[in-house]
Amino acid sequence: MIDYQNRRQKIYDAMAREGISLLMIEDCEGRRDPALRWLSGHPQDALLYLSVDRKSLLVPWDINMALLYGKVDMAIPYGEFERLPTAAIMGSSVKLKIPPGSKIEIPPVTPYPLFLEYVGSIGGSYDIICREGGLHREIEKLRAVKDEEEIHIYRRAADITNEIIDLLEKNVRSGKIRTESEAALFIESAARKRGCDGTGFTTLAAGPERSFGIHAFPPYTAGPFGGKGLSILDFGIKYAGYTTDVTLTFARDPNAAQEKLIVLIEKAYKLALSLVADGTGAREIARAVDVLFGKSKKLMPHGLGHGIGLEEHESPAIRSRSDNQWVLSPGMIFTLEPGLYDPIHGGCRLENDILLTGSGAEVLTTARIIRL
């Protein structure tokens, strides 16, 4: 069982250190934040208020779902506040007995006009804080290191992903999967048959004519998949709220240029994996891969990887940007996904999910370059 109270305790401690009496977390259409689920168990569409005296109040759109999934001290239907965020924050402050003059922190993604509404409605009673690098940043750091229950979920999610990878290879080889849409819909069906919530994001299936794009548009079509050349399949399955993220490349009778891409990608992947260790800067790994590609006059147009969890892209960032300060530590789960793309010869990408343990990198998934 996930210990949501223990997770909240860490946030309460941070609130006390920074003098914040009430913290608001919002997950709604247009401003999604799975930290709400991470701290409460409620899937989505709600406001969560945490008070420094260690009380939690959930304000959901759907009170029935909240009573089923929410692991909080109190829950009040959003309808009781006319579904107005300004009324909800005021009502929650009163319910949680926040003293006048206290600091209330709202999400850093709050639009400026809405911030002004908060100030106008309760700014006379409370000090409204909206900042980068505040308590929401603290939550981001905590979420980047998975706890024991999350790792247990991920191992199961990875097992399901690996089953589907093997079935995909079998069905492409046999000709049962011949189109992009057949590949994508097979993944959706296979995931749900195995107890998953579905796919973690829209599957990207790009046959030889479309694999030159990092993210093919549209994500998949009725066009051919697995034919002569390079086909890319990027997918993840969502299990108990957590998504995997893998990419396979199917290579059929590759020409010399395509073979070069395959060799470079496999070499880059092995290099990146060899550098994963506790205390290593994520940027160092990405820069090493950039240098490797540079020797062949190639440039990877995206980051080397990213954290995964309740979101398909979360911290830590595995990229060579100068602002990347993430340092790897045990408990982090992230992708390594070197990729190269040619407008004539197509693209090649290899992506697996990696868990950093106390004894080193553990590759959870079995994505690979499949030669047909």
- Which residues on adjacent β-strands are paired with residue 353? 335
**Can you tell me the distance from the alpha carbon of 192 to that of 144, in angstroms, rounded to the nearest whole number?**
27
- Which residues on adjacent β-strands are paired with residue 176? none
Each residue of 167-192: pLDDT tens digit? 999 999 999 999 999 999 999 999 99
Decide: residue 150, CB within 10 A, 0-12 exposed, 13-18 middle, 19+ buried.
Answer: buried
**Can you tell me the distance from the alpha carbon of 326 to that of 306, in angstroms, rounded to the nearest whole number?**
11
Output the average pLDDT for the chain.
97
Q: Where in the chain is the domain with CATH 3.40.350.10?
A: 4-142
Percent of the chain with pLDDT over 70: 100
CATH, range 4-142:
3.40.350.10
DSSP result, 259-315: HHHHHHHHHHHHHHHHH--TT-BHHHHHHHHHHHHHHTT----S-SEEE-SSSSSEE
CATH, range 145-371:
3.90.230.10
Each residue of 142-165: pLDDT tens digit? 999 999 999 999 999 999 999 999
| Residue 288 CB coordination number (10 Å) | 16
Each residue of 61-118: pLDDT tens digit? 999 999 999 999 999 999 999 999 999 999 999 999 999 999 999 999 999 999 999 9
Percent of the chain with pLDDT over 90: 98
Give the C-alpha distances (Å, rounded to integers) separating 345 from 110, 114, 179, 226, 229.
Answer: 44, 48, 19, 14, 7
**Can you tell me the distance from the alpha carbon of 320 to that of 152, in angstroms, rounded to the nearest whole number?**
30
CA 1 to the chain's CA centroid: 21
**Can you tell me the distance from the alpha carbon of 88 to that of 83, in angstroms, rounded to the nearest whole number?**
7
Contacts of 323 (CB under 8 A, 6+ apart): none
Which residue type sits at 156?
R
Contact criterion met (CB below 8 Å) for 56 and 72? yes
Query: What pTM does this model have?
Result: 0.95
Q: Where in the chain is the domain with CATH 3.90.230.10?
A: 145-371
1 — pLDDT class (breaks 50, 70, 90): confident
Contact criterion met (CB below 8 Å) for 4 and 73? no
- pLDDT score of 277 more than 90: yes
Contact criterion met (CB below 8 Å) for 77 and 44? no
- pLDDT score of 123 more than 90: no
Residue 194, helix vs strand vs coil: coil
